[in-house]
Chain A
Amino acid sequence: MRLRILDNGHSLSTKALFALIRTISRQPVLDVVRLVNYRADFYGKPMGRVAQEAMRGPSSWTVGDRELMAAFIAKTSQSPFCLEAHAAVAQRASGDAKSVSAVLSDPGLLHVEEPLRATLLLLGKLTREQTVDADDMRAVLAAGASRQQIEDALAVGFAFHTMTRLADAFAFSVPGSAAFAAGAKYLLARGYR
């Protein structure tokens, strides 16, 4: 990563935790894990509570829907680490890897049902243009999304508009698919806290 402290500035107990993760998973420690465990009281812990609420809190969107939103934001913002990481979680959550891959390779999202399709397109515009207007919201409401569903999707947006920026700015390395699969298994079992 671009700051040495994020690679090896952790406390001894955190380094021991990383060694345990490597031993159990037989995979490298993902850079996002290194980030959230560096001075965790400053960023990792409070951001973990935001992400947990957005991604695993009460919502009529499924966990798979929200992980797909995260992957779609990452794709739109050209963040390879977050795209691979959350595509893997969405695939594992839905049990349908082909459908998730198809969605993420289809700019028009033609095979996605409403109101998820309109919601993903809204998040895509918010990611690209960094703002949206009332007409954009009316389109999502007209597609069948409730106000609460839109608010829940915007919470996912907040979390991943933060995380994709940090992944790109700090230059997270992109490991092989086995490392992301191990990360996906953990995120589905334990969440973001």
Chain B
Amino acid sequence: MSDIQQARTALTTRILEGDGQLPSSGRQAAFHNRGVRGPAGALVDKVARQAWRVRDEDFAAAQATGLNEDQVFEMVVCAAIGQATRQYEAALAALEAATGTE
């Protein structure tokens, strides 16, 4: 495994499986942008797809569901890294398809 892959794996393992204020299942859901309901899910989706359109109201709505600031922090970090991971892996697969070598 290359150094960048080791560093990426360590990052993903930490945010998804290490200690946190959100349960690991909640961080996994934010990372995959799948199964987060209500205003929190809307914030996760916006971070993943159109982060420049996130507004104060999106955070306020997520926190109004009972999430504290640390939980929202973890959710947003997981959403951002999850979408960046999907972009990265899609691009590596395209490179693999173009070169046809491992």
Q: What residues of chain A have their CB less than 8 Å away from a CB belonging to chain B?
A: 2-6, 9, 38-39, 41-43, 46-47, 49-50, 52-54, 57, 77-79, 122, 126, 130-138, 141, 147, 150-151, 154-155, 157-159, 161-162, 164-166, 168-171
Residues 35-60 of B, flagged 1 when their CB comes within 8 A of A and 0 if not, give 00000000000111101101010010
Chain B positions 1 through 41: 1 when the CB is less than 8 Å from some CB of chain A, otherwise 0: 00110011011001100101000000000000000000000
**A79-B52, A132-B91 given. 19 additional CB < 8 A pairs?**
A4-B69, A5-B73, A9-B69, A42-B15, A46-B10, A53-B3, A57-B3, A57-B4, A136-B94, A137-B99, A141-B99, A147-B101, A154-B92, A157-B84, A162-B81, A162-B84, A165-B80, A166-B76, A169-B54
Q: Give Cα distance in the complex from A77 to B8, angstroms.
A: 22
Whole-angstrom CA separation of A98 from B24 in the bound complex: 47
Q: Which residue of A lies closest to B53 (CB)?
A: A168
Chain B residues within 8 Å of A, Cβ to Cβ: 3-4, 7-8, 10-11, 14-15, 18, 20, 46-49, 51-52, 54, 56, 59, 69-70, 72-74, 76-77, 79-81, 83-88, 90-92, 94-95, 97-99, 101
Count of A-B contacts judged by CB separation below 8 Å:
137
Report A-chain residues with C-beta under 8 Å of the C-beta of B98. Answer: 134-135, 137-138, 141
Could you tell me the distance in whole angstroms from the C-beta of B72 to the nearest C-beta in chain A?
Answer: 6
* A98–B54 alpha-carbon span in the complex (Å): 32
Q: Contact between A165 and B83 (Cβ–Cβ < 8 Å)? A: yes
Whether the pair A42, B99 counts as a contact (CB closer than 8 A) is: no
B42 to chain A, nearest CB (A): 13
Residues of A within 8 A of B52 (CB): 77-79, 168
Contact of B88 among A3, A138, A158, A166 (CB under 8 A): A158
In the assembly, what is the distance between CA of A41 and CA of B98, in Å? 38
Q: Is A2 a contact of B8 with CB atoms below 8 Å?
A: no
Report the Cα distance A165→B53, complex, angstroms. 10
Q: Are the C-beta atoms of B90 and A168 separated by less than 8 Å?
A: no
Q: List 7 A-B contacts (CB under 8 A).
A: A42-B14, A42-B74, A136-B94, A147-B99, A157-B88, A165-B83, A166-B80
